[in-house]
A and B are shown apart, each in its own frame.
Chain A
Amino acid sequence: AQSVAQPEDQVNVAEGNPLTVKCTYSVSGNPYLFWYVQYPNRGLQFLLKYITGDNLVKGSYGFEAEFNKSQTSFHLKKPSALVSDSALYFCAVRQPYTDKLIFGTGTRLQVFP
């Protein structure tokens, strides 16, 4: 069965430090992977996606993600965190041959000044 795991409920990082939000997946066939961010009382906003090609994907707001096929991971990264990055982050994988997404349970990122 297809699934996505976000092993950390919360990640705390100091402003200016690099951040990583972890995601691992299990899917048959080629994975199509997505990251979304949710600010308080808002809907989800698309950050970036991996379909094929370069394993390092760049997205909105300075975020990037690294696809690692051997480790079945798609970790979200940013070189220098901002307080305004504090939000809930969701990893998702496309169910093969459909347009449906399977979401992880989310990771709350807290960036401290």
Chain B
Amino acid sequence: NAGVTQTPKFRVLKTGQSMTLLCAQDMNHEYMYWYRQDPGMGLRLIHYSVGEGTTAKGEVPDGYNVSRLKKQNFLLGLESAAPSQTSVYFCASSSTSGGFYNEQFFGPGTRLTVL
């Protein structure tokens, strides 16, 4: 049981380049999330998904797109990277069994630098 995994662990991009971050979970969780972590700002929600084929915007969605074609995978895309997107990106998942009380499980993170 690997939990939540993220690919890649590190990436350096040039301004204007595109990339996709992959998140996978093997816990059969319905909900998945993408956050970014910046110093002094905690974690901010970018996009989330409440089930296969569904996505919704979070607090800071501009410049990002997501897709959830399979229940276990949640992809985060940057179409044209900007230096302001330099951050550590975390994926998380949670179960809905029992209501909205369940903790989220986090992946190890992807450190992205945009030059």
Contacts and interface: CB of A to CB of B under 8 A. Distances in A.
Contacts of B44: 103
A97 B100 CA distance: 8
The A contact surface, by secondary structure, is loop
Interface stretch (A14-22, A43-51, A61-69, A78-86): A43-51
B60 to A, nearest CB: 13
A103 B42 contact: yes
Interface size, A (range): 20 to 34
Contacts of A94: 100-101
Contacts of B106: 36, 43-45
Interface string B100-113: 11011111110000
A51 B102 CA distance: 10
B78 to A, nearest CB: 20
Nearest to B90: A43
Nearest to A105: B42
B107 A98 contact: no
Interface in B1-46: 4, 31, 33, 40-45
B43 to A, nearest CB: 4
Interface in A71-113: 90, 94, 97-101, 103-106
Contacts of A103: 42-44
A105 to B, nearest CB: 4
Interface of B: 4, 31, 33, 40-45, 48, 50, 58, 90, 92, 94, 96, 100-101, 103-109
22 contacts: A9-B40, A34-B103, A41-B108, A41-B109, A42-B109, A43-B106, A44-B92, A49-B101, A49-B103, A94-B101, A98-B100, A99-B31, A99-B48, A99-B94, A99-B96, A100-B33, A100-B48, A100-B58, A101-B45, A101-B104, A103-B42, A103-B43
Interface of A: 9, 32, 34, 36, 41-46, 49, 51, 90, 94, 97-101, 103-106
